[in-house]
């Protein structure tokens, strides 16, 4: 095994740990230090001191190819494999590949891989190649395997490698291209295994080689690899293999670069265009037509040098077919992608067409269960992608096919009235509501027939017929949290029928497991399991063992007692029971195996009728014996837990019942927890080991009291107080409750879906409560188009009320809150409506919440007399007669904004035109300061009336209520009066933003280090930007670190704090209204300026110390008096220059300018304008 190392001190420890913990132990681990300048080598040396299998070889820096070549020269083992030092090997990776190679004698073994980052793990698009094991292949027999063309994730016989005489290219990226393809071609035979043998890291900081596609150097290295591939393969490899290699370029490789923002650079574009042209010269036309239409169009636009049109195609989302209309025509489905009707683009219509045989079927099995007669009930979705079913019928059949006899049993499905909330893939222009199906397949009699020793297997298939389209395919997609993924075994003649392993896109199949070794009369006593083993196979049980179903770890039960009559007993070893798995995550599961005298190992199966688990307690551990999905007897060891047996929505309550295993009496407290909120904890007594809890779907939003939980995914956590002490974790779900999943419930306040999570836990997904008939992208698009038609019709109608939208309804605040307060202060008879994403959004007293995209919201958007938005009004809204639109925006100008920012971000011209069209309909634009007005009008191309009045949202900061709000906010956060509170409020970084909507918060400040340095009398509030709030990330909290990213009104936090740590956010302008000291943490000052850019000199707008480290922040905060003295002059100059209108009267000036002239508010009383 060869592990090159260069600048990976953050990753190498995890990498080598995964290597050392491989189930296959006979490893030669060659770590090649490629002149790494960081601390990587020290970490390697520590591992080498602990593990003699590791050899460290040092060499001057020469790049990845040179390091791998060095490792090959030093390798002495029978096999070669490569691991990049920032990646991780699954526990059984090497054993899976070596096992295959030893069985077949193949030259290569090719494994599957998963991608991962700090947040999640996902499948690569070529995982389908590993759906089934294939052995003894040559490349011409399976040409598509060329798509898996990475060095890692494979095992090579060393003798084969040396016989090929191939070496990695040195001094370039993509040094393994086309080497891996050449190895496929030269292998006498190779194996493809189903196991995921490699975890490929996507670095969060985008620093890895494969994440540099935006650089010209990276592009040139990739183009060199393509050119070498043509030389090595064209005319030399079998044509099918060469075309498969070309398809990988057309479908994947080209687009890594076409999607890069660097295509605006002339040299980058010309290099890429010319490379595509060279490849196309050797490519049959069928290669282009074999890929999806969006990919075809993008490649052809580049090849034909439609540069501007390509950029518009990309920026309008042309890569995503579901964003555009489609038409089912006699010769296929036409996708009306951005350039489809562009008179300036001369592309064949064929490129936009999906032939009938190319139309893909999207499907998913959600629910599956056995009926009383042993038939199979199935629910799910199945439909042709991009084919609208709103006015078209579809027929779905569920088939079970015997893989040995070919016999089929079919059932015509009906439309499912209890569908899940959304189809697996939504489409803006196609309605898939009729594709939700339910079917009962009468298979019971056949499954109960004796198999006569033959292996039994039935595959579930779906047949979808829509108009002339007719497709039958194996069911491979299963909702992970639905009952289909957890179908229990079905007792039948001579054994069990069980579902197949559903990982990596395998088909949903029913397999027969014979009852070879069966446990009967099972009973438990603490850690001891006893009973009788019944053998239905020749031989004798010589021993028992437990095998970890995840890691493969084997524990032999050497003390097991085995009687000649089959009686047995053993105690689960203390190594397993002493450290019970926390129920906050997935619990370890062990399967019981019988070791036969012949040396063969056989699964021990549970008897038929074994439905309730056998549970016992040993100290802090609860042992649960139950059948697996295969019918095998398994052991799960966990800490004290609760098991849910029912769950339903009762109004605004989630009512659950359950039990406390091995605990007759206890106090059980349940709470729903997500990254955004925690429900109000609810406690009930468990009597006789059973409890009932009615959980309010509400949370305490600090000083704003109780509100509905926000839309998010929640885990159900528990805390148990019992005679054996306290315990906490995640509640688990019973098999009976699992059989009802997914379960969707909705009322006028909440909508939710219940599913099963990892480790038998419960997952509760809350979504906005809109009516089912208008839920989903298709229906929202339909309502948007209808709204556009109505507001474009220039029709007069009665108007009333003020509709305020802030951050797309994510909050009800910003400038709108000041405007509402002033209207209320004056007693104006104006109803104030607020756009909210759901009912969790805290609306100011007297305001009326309207859920975005509900029918009521669309109606008020059209009929409101006043519309105030701190972004832009929606693109499908045209100002109807009699409506006044005011844009307030949401920050003081500092960063590059408006048209210059949109161009820098490469927004589509269509989107930019839409912005300009919408701004032309504004009646007013609010400017927060005199300096801001010319910047706003220039960059947003606005020539209408400007209200240069200050920001209404900041009036409260200098109001008479400020002190009371400060005290109430601190009390609601649990902050003692004597504590100094520091607010940390970083802005988002464009270079950490995924899509101009979400962004990682980064790690600029070490919060724990800071509070430790400052001491117990300092607390830290962390307020993420809206981009941060939209992600699943939140900062870690402690007693003195509070995450307030989701706090309703940031003005409360300004008042509650005593100082702030800020950076480039315009929030520093708002904060300066309070006059409190500010520290500016700007470790990426130069990078931020280069990537985002600014309109003003930064130091002049940052009246405080500019620091780069947490230690410097701590020093400044510990010397605040000195900071105030040193920067007092700069602070006052800043306030005079940029906050000249923040006198507490901005709201009054707004109402005077907008509402008073139209007769909807009286003039200000004395003109004070005070809140």
Question: What's the number of CA atoms in the CB half-sphere (13 Å) around residue 131?
Answer: 14
pLDDT of residue 999: 82
> Is a pLDDT exceeding 50 seen at residue 1125?
yes
CB atoms within 10 A of CB 76: 8
Helices 266-281 and 216-233 meet at what angle, rounded to 10?
10
Query: How would you class 911 by CB atoms within 10 Å of its CB: exposed for 0-12, middle for 13-18, buried for 19 or more?
Result: middle
Give the DSSP per-residue string, 719-772: EEEETTEEEEEE-EE-HHHHTT-SEEEE-SS-EEEEEE-GGGBEEEEEE----G
Each residue's pLDDT tens digit, 218-264: 899 899 999 999 998 998 899 999 999 999 999 999 999 999 989 99
Each residue's pLDDT tens digit, 464-517: 999 999 999 999 999 999 999 999 988 887 788 888 877 666 889 999 888 889
CB atoms within 10 A of CB 430: 26
Each residue's pLDDT tens digit, 931-967: 999 999 999 999 999 999 999 999 999 999 999 999 9
* Assigned fold of 359-512: Immunoglobulin-like (2.60.40)
Of the pLDDT bands very low, low, confident and very high (cuts 50, 70, 90), residue 151 is: very high
Average pLDDT over residues 371-399: 95
For all residues of the chain together, what is the average pLDDT? Answer: 91
CB atoms within 10 A of CB 605: 27
Same fold, 359-512 and 515-638: yes
pLDDT of residue 122: 83
Q: Is the dihedral of CA 970, 974, 980, 985 positive or negative?
A: negative
Average pLDDT over residues 188-217: 83
What residue ranges do the domains of the chain occupy?
A: 212-291, 359-512, 515-638, 643-767, 797-950, 960-1143
Range 797-950 has CATH code 3.30.365.10 = no
Of the pLDDT bands very low, low, confident and very high (cuts 50, 70, 90), residue 632 is: confident
pLDDT of residue 583: 41
Answering whether pTM is above 0.85, one says yes
- Integer Cα distance of 652 and 223 in angstroms: 59
Q: Where are the beta strands (DSSP E) in 1018-1115?
A: 1018-1022, 1041-1043, 1059-1062, 1078-1081, 1106-1107
- Integer Cα distance of 943 and 934 in angstroms: 10
From residue 887, give the alpha-carbon distance in Å to each of 210, 810, 945.
42, 17, 11
CB atoms within 10 A of CB 465: 15
Among the four given CATH numbers 1.10.357, 1.10.760, 2.60.40, 1.10.287, the one describing domain 643-767 = 2.60.40
pLDDT of residue 451: 66
- Integer Cα distance of 1107 and 1086 in angstroms: 13
pLDDT of residue 1170: 38
Among the four given CATH numbers 2.60.40, 1.10.8, 2.20.200, 1.10.3470, the one describing domain 515-638 = 2.60.40
CB 1090 within 8 A of CB 1107: no
Query: Which top CATH class is 960-1143?
Result: alpha beta
- Integer Cα distance of 154 and 181 in angstroms: 12
Each residue's pLDDT tens digit, 312-337: 999 999 999 989 999 999 989 999 99
Each residue's pLDDT tens digit, 421-431: 688 999 999 99
Query: How would you class 331 by CB atoms within 10 Å of its CB: exposed for 0-12, middle for 13-18, buried for 19 or more?
Result: exposed
pLDDT of residue 998: 83
């Amino acid at each position: 095994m060869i592990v090159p190392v260069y600048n990976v001190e953050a990753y190498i420890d995890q990498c080598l740990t995964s290597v050392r913990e491989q189930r296959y132990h006979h490893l030669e681990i060659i770590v090649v230090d490629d002149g790494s300048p960081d601390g990587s080598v020290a970490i390697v040396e520590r591992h080498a001191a602990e593990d003699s299998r590791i050899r460290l070889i040092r060499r001057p820096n020469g790049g990845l190819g040179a390091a791998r070549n060095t490792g090959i020269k030093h390798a002495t083992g029978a096999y070669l494999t490569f691991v990049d030092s920032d990646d991780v090997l699954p526990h059984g990776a090497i054993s899976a590949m070596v096992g295959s190679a030893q069985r077949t004698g193949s030259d290569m073994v090719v494994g599957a891989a998963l991608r991962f980052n700090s947040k999640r793990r996902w499948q690569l698009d070529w995982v389908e190649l590993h759906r089934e094991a294939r052995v003894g292949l040559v490349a011409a027999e399976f040409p598509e395997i060329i798509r898996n063309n990475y060095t890692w994730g494979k095992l090579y016989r060393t003798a084969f490698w040396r016989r090929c005489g191939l070496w990695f290219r040195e001094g370039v990226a993509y040094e393994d291209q086309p080497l891996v393809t050449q190895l496929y071609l030269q292998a006498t035979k190779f194996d493809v295994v189903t196991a995921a043998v490699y975890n490929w890291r996507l670095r969060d900081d985008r620093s890895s080689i494969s994440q540099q596609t935006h650089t010209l150097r990276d592009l040139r290295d990739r183009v060199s690899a393509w050119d070498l591939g043509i030389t090595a393969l064209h005319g030399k490899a079998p044509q099918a293999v060469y075309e498969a290699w070309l398809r990988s370029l057309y479908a994947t490789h080209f687009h890594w670069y076409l999607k890069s923002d660097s295509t605006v650079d002339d040299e980058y574009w010309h290099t890429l265009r010319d490379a595509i042209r060279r490849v196309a010269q050797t490519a049959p036309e069928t290669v282009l037509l074999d890929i999806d239409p969006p990919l075809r169009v993008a490649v052809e636009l580049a090849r034909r040098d439609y540069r501007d049109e390509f950029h518009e195609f990309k920026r309008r989302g042309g890569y995503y077919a579901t964003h555009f209309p489609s038409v089912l025509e006699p010769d296929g489905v036409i996708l009306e992608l951005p350039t489809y009707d562009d008179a300036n683009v001369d592309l064949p219509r064929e490129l936009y067409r999906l032939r009938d045989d190319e139309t893909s079927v999207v499907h998913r099995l959600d629910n599956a269960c056995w009926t009383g007669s042993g038939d199979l009930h199935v629910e799910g979705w199945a439909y042709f992608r991009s084919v609208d079913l709103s006015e078209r019928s579809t027929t779905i059949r569920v088939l079970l096919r015997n893989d040995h006899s070919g016999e089929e049993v079919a059932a015509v499905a009906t439309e499912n009235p209890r569908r899940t909330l959304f189809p697996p893939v939504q489409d803006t222009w196609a309605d898939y509501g009729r594709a939700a199906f339910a079917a009962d397949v009468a298979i019971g009699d056949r499954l109960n027939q004796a198999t006569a020793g033959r292996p039994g297997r039935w595959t579930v298939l779906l047949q979808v017929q829509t108009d002339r389209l007719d497709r039958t395919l194996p069911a491979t997609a299963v909702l992970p949290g639905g009952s289909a993924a957890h179908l229990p075994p079905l007792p039948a003649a001579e054994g069990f029928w069980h579902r197949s392993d559903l990982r990596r896109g395998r088909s949903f199949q029913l397999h027969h497991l014979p009852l070879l070794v069966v446990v009967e009369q099972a009973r438990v006593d603490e850690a001891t399991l006893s009973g009788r083993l019944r053998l239905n196979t020749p031989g004798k049980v010589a021993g028992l063992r437990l095998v970890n179903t995840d890691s493969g770890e084997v524990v032999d039960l050497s003390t097991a007692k085995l009687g000649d009559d089959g009686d047995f007993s053993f105690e689960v070893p203390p190594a397993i029971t002493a450290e019970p798995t926390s129920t906050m995550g997935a619990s370890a599961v062990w399967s019981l195996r019988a070791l036969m005298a012949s040396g063969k190992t056989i699964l021990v199966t549970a008897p038929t009728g074994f439905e309730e688990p056998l549970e016992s307690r040993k100290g802090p551990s609860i042992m649960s014996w139950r059948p697996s999905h295969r019918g095998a007897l398994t052991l799960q060891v966990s800490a004290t837990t609760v098991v849910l047996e029912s769950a339903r929505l009762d109004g605004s309550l989630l009512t659950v019942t359950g039990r406390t295993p091995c605990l007759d009496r206890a106090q059980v407290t349940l709470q729903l927890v997500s990254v955004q909120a925690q429900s109000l904890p609810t406690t009930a007594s468990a009597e006789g080991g059973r409890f009932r809890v009615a959980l309010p779907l509400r949370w305490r939003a600090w000083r704003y009291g109780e509100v509905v939980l926000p839309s998010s995914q929640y885990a159900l956590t528990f805390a148990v107080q019992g005679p054996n002490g306290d315990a906490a974790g995640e509640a688990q779900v019973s098999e009976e409750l699992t059989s009802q999943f997914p379960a969707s419930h909705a009322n006028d306040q909440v909508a939710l879906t219940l599913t099963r999570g990892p480790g038998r836990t419960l997952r509760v997904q809350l979504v906005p409560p809109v009516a089912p008939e208008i839920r989903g992208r298709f229906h929202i698009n339909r309502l948007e188009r209808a709204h556009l038609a109505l507001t474009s019709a220039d029709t007069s109608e009665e108007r009333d009320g003020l509709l305020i939208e802030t951050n797309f309804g994510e909050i009800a605040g910003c400038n709108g809150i000041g405007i509402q307060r002033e209207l209320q202060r004056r007693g104006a008879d104006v109803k104030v409506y607020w756009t909210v994403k759901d009912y969790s959004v805290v609306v100011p007293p007297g305001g009326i919440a309207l859920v975005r995209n509900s029918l009521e919201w669309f109606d008020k958007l059209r009929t409101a007399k006043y519309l105030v938005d701190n972004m832009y009004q929606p693109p499908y809204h045209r100002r109807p007669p009699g409506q006044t639109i005011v844009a307030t925006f949401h920050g003081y100008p500092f960063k590059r904004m408006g048209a210059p920012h949109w161009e820098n971000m490469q927004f589509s011209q269509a989107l930019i035109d839409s912005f300009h069209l919408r701004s032309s309909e504004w009646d007013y634009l609010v400017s927060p300061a005199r300096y801001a007005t010319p910047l706003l009008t220039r960059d947003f191309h606005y020539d209408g009336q400007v209200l240069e009045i200050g920001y209404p949202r900041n009036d409260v900061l200098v109001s008479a209520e400020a002190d009371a709000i400060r005290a109430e906010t601190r009390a609601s956060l649990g902050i003692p009066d004597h504590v100094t509170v520091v607010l940390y409020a970083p802005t988002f970084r464009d270079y950490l933003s995924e899509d101009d909507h979400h962004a990682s918060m980064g790690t600029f400040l070490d919060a724990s280090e800071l509070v430790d340095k400052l001491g117990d009398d300092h607390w830290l509030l962390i307020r993420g930007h809206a981009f941060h709030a939209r992600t699943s990330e939140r900062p870690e909290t402690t007693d003195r670190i509070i995450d307030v990213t989701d706090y309703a009104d940031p003005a409360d936090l300004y008042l509650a704090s005593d100082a702030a740590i800020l950076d480039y956010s315009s929030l520093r302008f708002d904060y300066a209204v309070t006059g409190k000291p500010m520290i500016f943490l700007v470790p990426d000052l130069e990078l931020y300026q280069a990537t985002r850019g600014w309109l003003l000199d930064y130091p002049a707008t940052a009246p405080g110390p500019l620091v780069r480290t947490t230690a410097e922040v701590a020093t400044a905060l510990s010397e605040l008096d000195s900071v105030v003295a040193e920067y007092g002059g700069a602070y006052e100059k800043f306030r005079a220059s940029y906050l000249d209108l923040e006198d507490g009267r901005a709201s009054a000036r707004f109402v005077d300018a907008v509402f008073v002239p139209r007769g909807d508010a009286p003039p200000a009383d004395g003109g004070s304008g005070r809140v």
